[in-house]
Structure 1
Amino acid sequence: MNATAVLLAPRRRARPARGLRTAVRPLARSLTYTRLLHLLIVNALPALLIFVAGGFAPAMAATALCLLVAGAVPGMRVVEGVQARLLFPRGEGAGHVGERPSAGWGERLRLMVWLEVRLVLGSGVTMLCVWLPTLAEISWGGEVPPVLRFLPQARDWWAWLSPLPLLALYGAVLGAGALMARLAVPLLGPSPAERLAALEARTEELLERTRLARELHDSIGHALTVAVLQAGAARAAGDAAFTQRALGAIEETGRAALEDLERVLGVLREPGSTARGRPGLDRAERLFASARAAGAEVTVRVDGALDALPGPVSREAYRMTQEALTNALRHAGPVPVEVVFTVDTRTLTLDFTNPLPPDARPFPGGGTGLRGLRERAAVLGGSATAGARDGRWRLRVRLPLEALRETGR
């Protein structure tokens, strides 16, 4: 760059130091004065007790005792929580501070510590608010302390120290307010055990929503697959009687899917009704009828008693059967499907076998449906394997029964 370009280039305006702007920014924030008021208002009780107790020290001791008694009242935690939440910047989470009354002596003791710390800091800030401005005024007036009067010309430089008490007061107010906000979460918020319980409840809720999403995938996917196959077959057949049967099958499958949808929506509205109305393996015949109506030749063999299965196993096995039939119809079409249910004292085994069309190229890892099957089986401590061999697709699911019977599920 030549000299002319340097001369013609616009000059950048000097900006104030960023550190100075950061230091004075709290003066324009209402949060600073809210925290100061929170610290000062605690001195109302000692101010009244001074006239009764006859001195500052007895009044402070009586106030500390009164706060200990107040901390034992369960509702006091809610009162302090309302004030403590005002100490946080707008939009910043307060960690559920003081949302409910004290539930035990652990929370009461934490509340007592909070009240005593607030009394100590509030009293200290109050005294600083009185004495530091007074010291600044004295310094500005030029009254040199007696211990410094022997210094020559002390009166000339002592006035320049008058801003220091005000800066010290500014720092003390900001520090005390920030400390109270920092202590609010551990002293008024939930305990570690409560936070862990809330996290576990949230995890259970997310798992339940994931399970509901899988159920919707299985139910709606099965209904749409059957409807598409029935509609295509009816159009290709051109037979009025066949078309009527196809429409009836579509109607029945759609009605079942709507029932599942209504049940899932009911669970979302009422989280406590998670298992109510969920079909079990004893109602799997309607799945077979739906697949037969779509053109598949479904043969079923049952070895053992299905009605003796634990509820979770029976319900999950129903959804796995639905997904297996849907995959067979979707990827292989209306082909013969062999279904074998084997129940013994320890294990429920589901076997699904169907031929593959010549142009089928199954993926080794499976798609979303097979991944969901494996996840369902893993939740119950079982396993699911699938693969093609000699032109046939086989899906096997093994679910343990003994542990679930022992836990009473």
Structure 2
Amino acid sequence: MLDIKWIRENPAAFDRALSRRGAPPAAEAILGLDEERRSHVQKVQSAQELRNSASKEIGKAKAAKDEATAAALMAEVGEIKEFLAHAEEKERELDTALSRLLATLPNIPLDDVPNGKDEHDNVEKSMSGQKRLYDFEPVEHFEIGVATKLMDFETAAKLSGSRFVVLKGGLARLERALGQFMLDLHTTEHGYTEVQPPLLVRDDALFGTGQLPKFAEDLFKAGEQHWLIPTAEVPLTNIVRESILDEKELPLRFTALTPCFRSEAGSAGRDTRGMLRQHQFNKVELVSITTPETSLGEHERMLSCAEAVLQALELHYRVVTLCTGDMGFGAQKTYDIEVWLPGQKAYREISSVSVCGDFQARRMNARYRPAGDAKGTRFVHTLNGSGTAVGRCLIAVMETFQNGDGSVTIPAALRPYMGGIDKISA
């Protein structure tokens, strides 16, 4: 949620920022509704003051046995009460209309975010490792999985339809090993607290992180009151909703390994083969809650934590800064980590690391009390990132460490989690 006070003071800058994100100007509509609301609130307050004053005068008139004056004042108070009965309802309607309008608007990009329309305008930040050389033509992950009979899309389709997979044997264990390795790395070396959150959340939690109301079609609803989480970012970030923290508690750093559920409503026809784009997948999520002064430094730190996963697995990747047209709804700035997939001969996103400023905090009413300030509060800043997408990391390991005989070598970092197994084959 954007700060209405900032929009009032910077309407032109606000519209320029929306333009950078490919959105139409909105300052005039917002400020017009805001002015109507503020004017109406002033009328309500004036009417309430007049009612209270008249009520006191009625008491005085009755004490003086001035029945005519008392009757006139009572009639005036009756008219005011009738006005207020309707006016207070209109005030609620104006509040709701303004809140709904603000809730549909994306976050404002930071000044150093590159301008652009889509992924083609993203800017490479760094690159790590080297592409592995093969003495055979590398194939895609699903070709390896099907050939070893450890990746079964046909059975998954019978069970659940398209965009699901059944993993078996060594691949199932490798997927589990990846998640456990990531959790151990982030909790023992990077200072994150492991959380096991609910997989079902209510509307308020999804509103808080920005998935609702705008992206309802990308979610799976479960009954009347709950949704399946699209990412553990939702429950982890909402841990601090409607809270006032002490500055000394910050930063808070949480991590979780959970299934994630997405309808992929906007991806019809994209990545239909294999595991790249599934309705259900596992992901290790990183969330940080910080002060405004430390959030940009925390963004760089979170990126390095996600990179450490790929470095330990000896995977080649690059980091790109997303342009304004490719950023997520709630982000001020986003880095994507794109891992090299030899079978696809392409870089594909495996982690997205974003700083959101106070955008989510305003939607959640999450605040902190600065040190030395007994009364004042400020909104926290929130960050989130994949640390990383487990299924996509499985794909990268399979394609990177494939062998000419169809087997897959296990990276050294994962062998303790695999009971010492160093290779997966049919």
Q: Tell me which interval the TM-score lies in, with the shorter structure as reference length.
A: under 0.3
Bigger strand share:
2
Higher normalized contact order (CA 8 Å, seq sep 6+, divided by chain length): 2
Bigger helix share:
1
Greater C-alpha Rg? 1
TM-score by length of 1: 0.20
